[in-house]
Structure 1
């Protein structure tokens, strides 16, 4: 009889441990989702029409948005201070972007060495650009800097913490 009580108690402890473990996993998942939403509130871009979208600033005051390069998903960081679209080296390799001629880059962090490349298709929500110059940069970032060679093709209107982006020449 005592053995049955001990095994029941052991089983009860195991069940409590599993319940706590499950609660810990669920809380971790929830907070990871919350942190990602704070980092990039534009995982689902808000569309006004087929040529206009609206982005929300993240907590750092940046505009991040999901998009695609050559059909593969990426996260863009809109950067009006960047001359060209800039793709981190590891991401460029994953995307299959071919490095071209070597370039001397002037970045916010100082001088760096990068490579010229071409992007066949760049998509930000329903907005697409074709045949863009870009640079492959030495960076550990996971975001693609969306520079002025892409952004100049859009009308950008910032009001408060929202940025409205309208394609100036929406091709069908």
Structure 2
């Protein structure tokens, strides 16, 4: 006659296996999220240096999608920039402008890829990327933008020299 099966240990074993699978899935999500974030923004800590002439220089790597995304600051607050040479001005989503404590000074219409949008003029006292520091940058607050990235347009980029070689972009002050 076979030994009686202990139902409590069988149930405990099933719960333990389910718990192990759930923990494994959570760990995989965490690891893949980090990998996906690095693919979107390979410049989370941009490489920077001084040239022989003493100029501040930042080297950015192109992301998986062919864009240049990097970390920086606006008036001391950490932000994520998406470089956009087609944008006339630095464009900040309205929800981020509130967090950055930026003041609206007037409104005007702009043409975007999504059509005409009314934006609000604002001013950035200090914008940084690596060791590059830009002062007095004109920008706009765009209520139509839902992303968490700030478009780094020509109102900032015209203050630096930039060159692209392969999948690398060098910004020089």
Q: TM-score, normalised on structure 1?
A: 0.91
Q: Distance in 1 between matches of 2:23 and 2:91?
A: 41
Matches within 5 A, 1:44-83: 44-49=45-50, 51-83=56-88
Q: How many positions carry a matched residue from both structures?
A: 166
Is structure 2 residue 29 aligned with structure 1 residue 23? no
Cα distance between partner residues in 2 of 1:48 and 1:98: 33
Unaligned runs of 5+ in 2: none
Give the Cα separation in 1 of the matches to 2:44 and 2:14: 41
The alpha-carbon deviation at position 48 of structure 1 amounts to 3.1
Give distance in 1, aligned partners of 2:166 and 2:102. Answer: 36
In structure 2, the residue corresponding to 1:132 is in which secondary structure? strand
Checking the alignment, whether the CA contact within 8 Å between 2:49 and 2:131 is kept in structure 1 is no
Match of residue 170 from structure 1: none
- Cα offsets for 1:85-122 (capped at 9, x unmatched): 11011111111111111111111221110100011111
Alignment of 1:101 with 2:106, yes or no, is yes
Do structure 1's residue 151 and structure 2's residue 157 form an aligned pair?
yes
Partners of 2:138 and 2:85 lie apart in 1 by 16
Unaligned runs of 5+ in 1: 168-172
CA distance in 2, matches of 1:109, 1:47: 34
Q: What TM-score, normalized by structure 2, do the two folds share?
A: 0.90
